[in-house]
Amino acid sequence: MVDKKIAYEKLGRLKEIIKGYESVLVAFSGGVDSTFLLKVSFDVLGDKVIAVFSSSVLSPQREKEDAEKIAKDIGAKLIVIERDVFSNGDFMKNDRLRCYYCKKDLVKRLKVLKEELNLNEIVEGSNIDDLQDFRPGRKALEEEGIKSPLFEAGLTKEEIRYLSKEFGLSTYQKHSSACLVTRIPYGDEITLEKLQMIEKAEDYLVQKGFSQVRVRHHGAVARIEVAKEELSKFFDTKLLDEVSNVLKALGFKYVTLDLSGYRTGSMN
């Protein structure tokens, strides 16, 4: 349960932090946190705020489309940059620091863009709850001096969702997302084919009405994770057959359902 008074106190703190930046480049994914950050930043700084979406094979096309629509609804300018992640040799080793290497590479691009746009700071949407998961990418952000105002203001995910709803943001109940490579085990080769298989499989399951979906790629095996409250949908044997056939047509030999359901960082 969110304490409304405390949530609004933290919102006031957030506005003061952002006001002190004077102008910002917002690393924007279209998720709950970065949307809330963009909204508050735009309310405080107006056209001194520019959002940037990093587009690559690591993010589903639907996320790019969502980000473009959300930024337009807020009224903020959005720049989309294209990245070739396969050129990052450290990232392609796919060890436990892959997120660190990816973030390092992204920040280099953002810093160049910040200078070109003559903006003071780069901000991103990490919150207090993000400390509870293994996130090597956060280390890269700290090393490069990227600001995390939601974290600085002490905001939790639940408070961000509450305030997002208060602001009328459609993302207030949006499920968390992560780049597609998080569906591939550490040490396994990262290929375009695998990423496309994962994206198409997850797009299909979203179209079938599942709200929280991960398709983990274990070689010939697809391991499906959905929210626990949605597991019962698979009691429909017709749906089971359809899901199996569709994912096998994408290239998987075996299709399994994880009975533990979706959980953040299960591949860690």
Domain co-membership, 140 together with 186: no
Domain co-membership, 128 together with 204: no
Mean pLDDT value across residues 249-258: 98
Domain co-membership, 203 together with 162: no
Which pLDDT belongs to residue 88? 95
Domain co-membership, 33 together with 154: yes
Domain co-membership, 83 together with 187: no
Q: Mean pLDDT across the chain, nearest whole number?
A: 94
Is pLDDT of 268 > 70?
no
Is pLDDT of 264 > 90?
no
Is pLDDT of 94 > 90?
yes
On whether the CB atoms of residues 76 and 38 are closer than 8 A, the answer is yes
Is pLDDT of 134 > 70?
no
Which pLDDT belongs to residue 117? 98
Looking at the chain, the whole-number percentage of residues with pLDDT higher than 90 is: 90
Residue 133 included in any domain: yes
Domain co-membership, 105 together with 163: yes
On whether the CB atoms of residues 101 and 192 are closer than 8 A, the answer is no
- Window from 143-157, 202-216, 253-267 with minimum mean pLDDT: 253-267
Domain co-membership, 121 together with 152: yes
Domain co-membership, 145 together with 236: no
Which pLDDT belongs to residue 83? 95
Domain co-membership, 217 together with 85: no
Query: Sheet holding 24-27: strands in order across?
Result: 77-82, 49-55, 24-27, 121-123
pLDDT digits (tens, 9 = 90+) for 22-34: 999 999 999 999 9
Which runs of E-coded beta strand occur in the chain? 24-27, 49-55, 77-82, 121-123, 213-218, 221-226, 254-257
Is pLDDT of 265 > 80?
no
Mean pLDDT value across residues 110-118: 97
Higher pLDDT, 62 or 15: 15
On whether the CB atoms of residues 51 and 78 are closer than 8 A, the answer is yes
Is pLDDT of 163 > 80?
yes
Which pLDDT belongs to residue 217? 98
Residue 173 included in any domain: no
Is pLDDT of 267 > 90?
no
pLDDT digits (tens, 9 = 90+) for 70-79: 999 999 999 9
Looking at the chain, the whole-number percentage of residues with pLDDT higher than 70 is: 97
Domain co-membership, 236 together with 198: yes
- Please tell me the distance from the alpha carbon of residue 166 to that of residue 162, in angstroms, as a whole number: 6
Q: Following CA atoms 49, 41, 20, 114 in sequence, which dihedral angle do they give, to the nearest 10 degrees?
A: -30
Structural domain span for residue 231: 180-257
Which pLDDT belongs to residue 77? 98
Which pLDDT belongs to residue 54? 96
CA nearest neighbour of 154 among 131, 135, 138:
131
pLDDT digits (tens, 9 = 90+) for 168-200: 999 999 988 889 999 999 999 999 999 999 999
Domain co-membership, 85 together with 160: yes
Active-site residue, from 70, 76, 179, 267: 179
pLDDT digits (tens, 9 = 90+) for 211-221: 999 999 999 99
- Please tell me the distance from the alpha carbon of residue 42 to that of residue 47, in angstroms, as a whole number: 7
Which pLDDT belongs to residue 266? 67
Which pLDDT belongs to residue 136? 80
Indicate if 102 belongs to the active site.
no
Amino acid identity for residue 106 in this structure: L
